[in-house]
Structure 1
Amino acid sequence: MSKHRPNRLAETLKEEISQLIRVELKDPRIGFVTLTSVDVADDLAHAKVYVSVLGTEDEGKASLEALNRAAGFVRSEIGKRIRLRHVPAIDFKYDPSIQHGAHIAKLLRDVGVSDDSSKDESHE
């Protein structure tokens, strides 16, 4: 089977789910959540939604738990918004890539600051 249809569905799901989280979900446990990607299985039966959460590790766990509890609601809303014969089962997964990128950027800034200060001292 071509990978074209799962990719199209993944993009559509990403847009719709991000809007649902932003507008419809009123759970206070859900913090500042960013959808990073959506992987749809080739048979279109399952979708893994990868999210990154801004905040502490405990806030991230609480947000992820709240999202997984709301997965049934999200799935039913997707079914109302998109014309699909079968709406994929949705599973939210934590994606540490944004946090990892921020950590690497901080390390690079720290190295850059120490390099700049050593250059300034050598020029004086």
Structure 2
Amino acid sequence: MPRQATSPHRIHRIADQIQRDLSELIPRELRDPRMGLVTIADVQLTPDYAHARVYFTVLGAEPDHVMAALNERAGYLHSLLFKRLRIHTVPTLHFVFDESTRKASDMNSLIAQAVASSAKDD
């Protein structure tokens, strides 16, 4: 019997649930003041649910340090998710710093400079 394709809606529901659970678990279970304030921005699952790329932002800490700490504790967070989620396969977690907020801030600065320069020329 052929296996049915994975529903994209189910993937999004599970990714959203993982995002909510990690947002709660990280500050409660990984009480490391050097990590600053970690925010889970997005979770992307592979179609087979084997891997989850977890995008995060951070305030008050170095992103590379936080990414290393999160990836080091990914197995522990995986075990906590396993207890919460009611799915057959809980994905392996891979934490990645989300550059989009930094890029958006840089773009806003460039736009502000261009507007100021244009206003000065007029």
| Alignment TM-score, normalising by the size of structure 1 | 0.83
Cα distance, 1:55 vs structure 2: 5.5
Residues 26 and 53 (structure 1 numbering): CA distance in 2 closer, same or farther, change over 3 Å?
same
Q: 1 CA distance for matches of 2:27 and 2:121?
A: 46
* 1:9 maps onto 2:5 in alignment: no
* 1:92 maps onto 2:81 in alignment: no
Q: 2 CA distance for matches of 1:82 and 1:20?
A: 13
Asked whether the 8 Å contact 1:30–1:64 carries over to 2, the reply is no
- Within the candidate set 19, 22, 26, 1:21 is matched to 26
Q: 1 CA distance for matches of 2:72 and 2:33?
A: 13
5+ residue gaps in structure 2? none
| Alignment TM-score, normalising by the size of structure 2 | 0.84
Task: Give the percent of matched residue pairs that are identical in Structure 1 and Structure 2.
Answer: 37
Q: 2 CA distance for matches of 1:53 and 1:117?
A: 36
* 1:42 maps onto 2:47 in alignment: yes
Q: Which runs of 4+ in 1 moved over 3 A?
A: none
Cα distance, 1:42 vs structure 2: 0.6
Alignment coverage as a number of residue pairs: 117
5+ residue gaps in structure 1? 120-124
Q: Give the residue type in structure 2 aligned to 1:38.
A: V
Match of 1:33 in 2: 38
> Higher Cα Rg: structure 1 or 2?
1
Q: Secondary structure at the match of 1:29?
A: helix
Q: Secondary structure at the match of 2:35?
A: coil
Q: Secondary structure at the match of 2:34?
A: coil
Asked whether the 8 Å contact 1:29–1:66 carries over to 2, the reply is no
Q: 1 CA distance for matches of 2:71 and 2:93?
A: 8
Q: Give the residue type in structure 2 aligned to 1:105.
A: N
Match of 1:78 in 2: 81
